[in-house]
Structure 1
């Protein structure tokens, strides 16, 4: 079974990521593997009712491509267990914006998973954008990747999970943290 990093721990991944065929066609609902599936947004939009009828919400996740509009999934937050965001290549950073939008603008509280070309160097930044689960590329060392979360002891900018430096100074949090 494959592994992922979830909440800063290495855990077994019991989800299957469903991708379109090379020609772009989507699989039929009855062709999906058994168990928990993470399906592309296009399949979810086309077969929402059939997917919901064939599986519980705890067994359905939806992944967004870099050019997907996060607002398209907001109405379905209660019908899915997780949202994945695809990073097809290292240099494509649109997924960071999608993560922040889902957390900050749309209030998504469930699991937000980075999939695709996910590397150690990206993890701390993805975390700051609201991601809490990471499906690293298969050729990467998970134990080494966990160290990425602690490489920066201090961040100046605000993020999904922290206030900007000036705001922390106003609140006296810096004095508390260094004491």
Structure 2
């Protein structure tokens, strides 16, 4: 396992393997499968296999609501920098559906996106982009001090505040 997962300010190993739908399940280990495969397998995976789900761009997170308490990991795929659908999935999972497990960004994760991903509830990141990795290793993760779309969470100004006055509260 290589140290490609950035979480809590450090890099660590990736213990989760992404498994395509046609691939056989391993006898043990942590695997991420599609929502379709997870729903088909639920309750029938081998005892030593821990299942998580990969939500790809355009897939509906709502399908998993009844199963979220059983999912230790949901990975959200960001297929390219300009595809923002993963942010919506993350916000739905955390804020609307109350998902408490690990939420991971995979795919094309770049340094400029990470503050926004954190704000949406993502807590771990699969980093393959060398400049992003270097920036994180050098502690160059910028904070975005002004948000044009407040979410009304603790630490942010109330909804309805003028955009130029929206700043994080310490």
Is TM-score (shorter-chain normalized) higher than 0.5? yes
The reply to whether residue 128 of structure 1 matches residue 124 of structure 2 is: no
Worse-superposed segment, 134-143 or 8-17: 134-143
Normalised to the residue count of structure 2, the TM-score between the two structures is 0.79
Return the TM-score normalized by structure 1: 0.76
Residues 73, 166 of structure 1: CA spacing in aligned structure 2 closer, same or farther, 3 A cutoff?
Answer: closer
Distance 1:122 1:141, change over 3 A: closer
Alignment of 1:1-179 (within 5 A): 1-2=1-2, 3-20=4-21, 26-29=22-25, 32=26, 34-51=28-45, 53-55=46-48, 59-137=50-128, 139-145=130-136, 147=139, 149-152=141-144, 154-156=145-147, 157-159=149-151, 162-166=154-158, 177=170
- Per residue, is there more helix in 1 or in 2? 1
Give the distance between the partners of 2:5 and 2:152, measured in 1 at CA. Answer: 21
What are the Cα deviations for residues 23-63 of structure 1, in whole angstroms up to 9, with x where unaligned?
xxx2233xx37411111212112222222x4336xx22111
My pick for the range that moved more, 95-104 or 36-45, is: 36-45
Contact 1:70 1:102 in 2 (8 A): yes
- Conserved in 2, the CA contact under 8 Å of 1:15 and 1:38? yes
CA drift of 1:112 comes to 0.3
C-alpha RMSD of matched pairs (Å): 2.6
Shift of 1:139: 3.7
Aligned-partner SS, 2:81:
coil
Give the distance between the partners of 2:100 and 2:152, measured in 1 at CA.
12
Q: Distance in 1 between matches of 2:109 and 2:35?
A: 19
**Structure 1 stretch 132-141 or stretch 99-108: which is displaced more?**
132-141
Could you give the per-residue CA deviations for residues 134-172 of structure 1, whole angstroms, max 9, x where no partner exists?
A: 0012544424136454343x23442486544346x9xxx
User: CA 1:150–1:140 in 2, change beyond 3 Å: closer, same or farther?
Assistant: closer
* Equivalent pairs, count: 160
